């Protein structure tokens, strides 16, 4: 299931937090150019520009053994399971003009690039490490280092581009591990702690608050990341894949992106979402999603007039994928979807969220308008093909 239009692009640029891939042979620098994300849609709440002051008596335990609910206790619980991930990717040097490549030995000799990020151990006995896909993407070598300085060769278990989550396994047991929060609703203003390895500074701790929830960002050339936690805890390149924690010592999010042109606007994938993705990656090496095979957009007055539609609510089918469930069921470009399984479809998310809650093979009923004629289209979901965003 696809959609292509989410509002006008506002030109906001966000930096993916891998931020540590550096071109060149055997270069090992702690930081490098940042990848770019573009936020679509109007911004709502903006995080404060400065980190909030921490009230020592209420929030910070000053000595070892600080009471539960303190920042120091949270770091004591989570910190030992936060790892540094270093990768080596071999890719072609595209910055050398074709006419000069033979002089640089580029033909047949791709250039190694090194990168680093963060991760967290989610299984003490099996050695599973949760991180971001963009941290380990295309890596030939993955090195995982624990805070106690032990280093292991990591093996990629599975990576999901759509959610930007990946699982790596290390050959070790009896490890420290984090506890992922069950996904209870977060209160805006709740204190949070970020732990990671920004610019190679291992186990850096920063503090902030939950600035907003249910955020959405659109990476340039990539799938939208949805239902994100926004925080003003300082996160930087290299924090990717590290935990965002509450003061109960639980991981509530996986730090993933920052707004590079601002201060104190960062985004984390919620642990409730990450838990299900991680389970699928561990069990089957991929994420199985239901799919009907259409691209669609919000209806506009112009689309209503063009396709002769009777109303201004719903989503308009832009494209039907060949061989998809929607194609087999007879759905067409220009159809206006107004209900799915008797639930109204007013926004893009109304259709998407219902489909994603179904299982592969489930029956779905769509109420549509084709022009001014009302129709019911019945179909069965299929597994979303790999590589579709």
Residue 388, in any domain of the structure = no
Residue burial 28-53, b: 16+ Cβ < 10 Å; e: rest: eebbbebbebbbebeeeeebeeeeee
Which of the listed residues 236, 264, 287 is the one where a domain comes to its end? 287
CA distance 346 to 130: 35
CA distance 204 to 198: 7
Element (H, E) at 340: strand 336-340
Residue 57, in any domain of the structure = no
220 with 88, same domain: the answer is: yes
297 with 208, same domain: the answer is: no
Q: Note the helical H segments in the chain.
A: 56-59, 71-78, 133-136, 271-284, 301-307, 325-329, 348-357
232 with 303, same domain: the answer is: no
> Helices (H), strands (E): how many in the chain?
7, 23
Which of the listed residues 248, 264, 287 is the one where a domain comes to its end? 287
CA distance 299 to 112: 47
Residue 155, in any domain of the structure = yes
Q: What is the CATH number of the domain that holds 24?
A: 2.40.10.120
| Residue 172, pLDDT score | 95
Residue 108, in any domain of the structure = yes
From 160, 164, 232, 335, the catalytic residue? 164
Residue 258, in any domain of the structure = yes
Q: With beta carbons less than 8 A apart as the criterion, state whether 287 and 160 touch.
A: yes
Q: With beta carbons less than 8 A apart as the criterion, state whether 144 and 129 touch.
A: yes
Encoded tokens for 145? 């280092």
Strands 128-131 and 141-145: unpaired
Rg (CA), the chain: 23
| Predicted model pTM | 0.75
96 with 170, same domain: the answer is: yes
Identify the residue whose tokens are 């959609």: 3
Q: How many domains does the chain have?
A: 2
Encoded tokens for 210? 């939950």
* C-alpha closest to that of 220 among 257, 180, 187: 257
* Residue ranges of E strands in 122-162: 128-131, 141-145, 151-153, 155-160
Residue 177, in any domain of the structure = yes
279 among known catalytic residues = no
Per-residue pLDDT of the chain (389 residues; tens, 9 = 90+): 444 333 333 333 344 444 443 333 222 222 333 333 323 233 333 322 223 333 333 333 344 444 556 899 999 999 999 999 999 987 655 555 555 545 444 444 566 788 899 999 999 999 999 999 999 999 999 999 999 999 999 999 999 999 999 999 999 999 999 999 986 678 999 999 999 999 989 999 999 999 999 998 876 666 788 889 999 999 999 999 999 999 999 999 999 998 878 889 999 999 999 999 999 999 999 999 999 999 999 999 999 999 999 999 999 999 999 999 999 999 999 999 999 999 999 988 899 889 988 999 999 999 999 999 999 999 999 999 876 75
Question: What is residue 301's three-state secondary structure?
Answer: helix
Residue 154, in any domain of the structure = yes
369 with 320, same domain: the answer is: yes
72 with 180, same domain: the answer is: yes
Residue 197 belongs to what domain range?
A: 1-45+66-287
179 with 142, same domain: the answer is: yes
Q: What is the CATH number of the domain that holds 371?
A: 2.30.42.10
Q: With beta carbons less than 8 A apart as the criterion, state whether 274 and 182 touch.
A: no
Residue 117, in any domain of the structure = yes
15 with 160, same domain: the answer is: yes
273 among known catalytic residues = no
From 3, 70, 84, 134, the catalytic residue? 134
CA distance 114 to 107: 20
Identify the residue whose tokens are 């805006």: 188
Encoded tokens for 50? 């400065």
224 with 296, same domain: the answer is: no
142 with 72, same domain: the answer is: yes
Residue burial 336-367, b: 16+ Cβ < 10 Å; e: rest: bbbbbeeeebeebbbbbebbeebeeeeebebb
CA distance 336 to 345: 10
Q: With beta carbons less than 8 A apart as the criterion, state whether 168 and 127 touch.
A: no
* C-alpha closest to that of 171 among 150, 141, 149, 185: 150
Encoded tokens for 299? 């209806």
302 with 220, same domain: the answer is: no
Which of the listed residues 232, 260, 287 is the one where a domain comes to its end? 287
From 84, 163, 211, 240, the catalytic residue? 240
148 with 3, same domain: the answer is: yes
| Residue 133, pLDDT score | 95
134 among known catalytic residues = yes
């Amino acid at each position: 299931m696809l959609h292509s239009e989410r509002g006008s692009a506002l030109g906001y640029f966000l930096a993916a937090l891998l931020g540590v891939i550096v071109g060149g042979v055997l270069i090992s620098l702690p930081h490098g150019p940042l990848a770019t994300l573009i936020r679509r849609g109007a911004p709502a709440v903006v995080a404060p520009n400065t980190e909030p002051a921490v009230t020592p008596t209420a929030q910070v335990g000053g000595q070892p053994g600080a009471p539960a609910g303190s920042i120091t206790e949270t770091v004591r619980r989570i910190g030992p399971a936060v790892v540094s991930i270093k990768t080596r990717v071999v890719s072609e040097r595209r910055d050398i003009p074709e006419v000069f490549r033979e002089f640089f030995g580029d033909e047949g000799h791709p250039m190694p690039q090194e990168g680093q990020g963060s991760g967290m151990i989610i299984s003490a006995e099996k050695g599973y490490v949760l991180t971001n896909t963009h941290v380990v993407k295309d890596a030939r070598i993955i090195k995982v280092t624990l805070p106690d300085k032990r280093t292991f060769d990591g093996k990629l278990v599975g990576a999901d581009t759509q959610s930007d989550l990946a699982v790596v396994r290390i050959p070790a047991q009896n490890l420290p591990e984090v506890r992922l929060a069950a996904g209870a609703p977060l209160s805006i203003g709740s204190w949070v702690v970020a732990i990671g390895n920004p610019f190679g500074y291992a186990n850096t701790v920063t503090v902030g608050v939950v600035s907003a929830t249910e955020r959405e960002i659109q990476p340039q050339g990539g799938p939208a990341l949805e239902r994100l936690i926004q925080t003003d805890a300082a996160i930087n390149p290299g924090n990717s894949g590290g935990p965002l924690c509450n003061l109960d010592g639980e991981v509530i999010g996986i730090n993933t992106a920052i707004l590079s042109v601002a201060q104190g606007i960062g985004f984390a994938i919620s642990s409730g979402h990450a838990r299900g993705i991680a389970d699928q990656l561990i069990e089957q090496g991929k994420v199985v999603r239901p799919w009907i095979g259409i691209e669609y957009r919000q209806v506009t007055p112009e689309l209503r007039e063009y396709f002769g539609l009777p109303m201004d609510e719903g989503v308009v089918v832009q494209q039907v994928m060949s061989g998809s469930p929607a194609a087999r069921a007879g759905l067409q470009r220009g159809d206006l979807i107004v209900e799915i399984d008797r639930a109204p479809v007013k926004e893009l998310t109304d259709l998407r969220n219902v489909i994603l809650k179904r299982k592969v093979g489930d029956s779905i009923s769509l109420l549509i308008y084709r022009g001014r004629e009302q129709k019911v289209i019945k179909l069965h979901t299929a597994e979303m093909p790999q590589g579709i965003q």
